[in-house]
Amino acid sequence: MEKKLDRVIFTCGGTAGHVNPAIALAQLLHEKDPDTEFLFVGAERGLEKDLVPKAGYDFRTVHISSFHRSFRPREIKHNLVSVCNLMRAPREARAILREFRPDVVIGTGGYASFPMVKAAAKAGIPTAVHESNMVPGLTTEMLEPFADRIMVGFESCRRHYRHPDKVMVTGTPVRGDFFALTKEEAKRKLGLDDGRPLIVSFWGSLGASGMNRQMADFLALEAAKEPFHHIHGAGKAGYAMVGQLLKERGVDLAAHPALQLREYIYDMAPVMRAADLVICRAGASTISELTALGVPALIVPSPYVTNNHQEKNARALEEAGGAAVLLEKDSSGQAMFQAACGILHDAQRRMEMETAMASLGIRDATERICRTILEICR
């Protein structure tokens, strides 16, 4: 008989890439058993304090903060606060465990998950950690000795852990609506089924100023012949800027219906499903979507993230044959345009990239994670 989960704690924070997989998993566990109670635990100032209540789940906080690698006075002061929090958080975590009495504690990334998973392990409560990046972050490395299972996105991740016997390849949850349509249906829905390939590009919900400037050059090059359909999400900060740069280059988007500039791609599921090439960063959620959908990508990893995670994510896709990588220091509108043409004008290469990307995808990630959690609770 399958064990019933009465109470589950998810602990995560920092970025949507850490929080959203936990919410997706909670939703599936709720579908399996509506009586299961969930509690999310995160930091006071993270995105989780907004995302989790919006999803309808109870949320508690522990005092935990990051450490900055700098000796400037402001950073030293921040680190002293973090030391105080590090001493305070275990007591808060133990109090939450005593009050909620969970069957399992699951960490999905971010420094906020450290005190809860460690306290649960010391209390004899089953624990699991999900790491969505190719290479483990500092929090996952620190929790590896305490977690009963480390759940990862790809088989190639296993070699980065000291205890490979603890590692389960589960993938990272991707929203179900990404698979609601076939590629052909998605193209028809968007009115982009005239045979021209579709490029989809974005640099994150807030955009990236330098990369958006390059994308303005890219769109201006496309405007000459419109060889592709192109949907670019410039982000709130970049939308007006890209529009202005295009005007300065003599490009009136109203005269180029194949080129769409959007502040945000709200219908991301059908847009990604219809894409023939995605140009993007290499955040964990994005690479999970690319591999699940089997979409070739031209990736310009962000050089501004901790531990250079994005380049490591991108290189893994490149090694498998599903992506081409262009470092930001080498990138330009011209360079990205030439790389995109090289992929989209070569049918054989594009098909091989699609196959390679799809071979990495795990569509049933949420189900695999559920099974893993139930196994450690038996």
Which residue in this structure is represented by tokens 């670019």? 232
Centroid of chain to Cα 271: 17
Distance of alpha carbon 282 from alpha carbon 309, whole angstroms: 8
Which residue in this structure is represented by tokens 């330009």? 332
Which residue in this structure is represented by tokens 């038996």? 378
pLDDT at 28: 87
Which residue in this structure is represented by tokens 């009495």? 101
Distance of alpha carbon 207 from alpha carbon 232, whole angstroms: 10
Q: Cα dihedral sign for 292, 28, 134, 160?
A: negative
Domains and CATH numbers, the chain: 7-174+363-377 (3.40.50.2000), 177-360 (3.40.50.2000)
pLDDT at 81: 53
Contact 77, 147 (CB under 8 A): no
Report the helix count and the strand count for the chain, using DSSP H and E: 14, 13
Which residue in this structure is represented by tokens 């959690």? 373
Residue-level pLDDT, tens digit, the chain, 378 residues: 456 899 999 999 877 778 888 998 998 899 889 999 999 998 877 778 888 999 999 999 886 655 455 667 776 664 565 555 556 688 999 999 999 999 999 999 888 899 999 999 999 999 999 998 888 988 899 999 999 999 999 888 999 999 999 999 999 988 888 999 999 999 999 999 999 999 999 997 656 899 999 999 999 999 999 999 999 999 988 999 999 999 999 999 999 999 999 999 999 999 999 999 999 999 888 999 999 999 999 999 999 887 788 999 999 999 999 999 999 999 999 999 999 999 999 999 999 999 999 999 999 998 999 999 999 998
**The token pair that represents 188 in the structure block:** 């028809």
Distance of alpha carbon 154 from alpha carbon 180, whole angstroms: 24
Distance of alpha carbon 105 from alpha carbon 116, whole angstroms: 8
pLDDT at 181: 97
What pTM does this model have? 0.85
- Going by the DSSP 8-state scheme, the letter that residue 45 receives in this structure is S
pLDDT at 1: 42
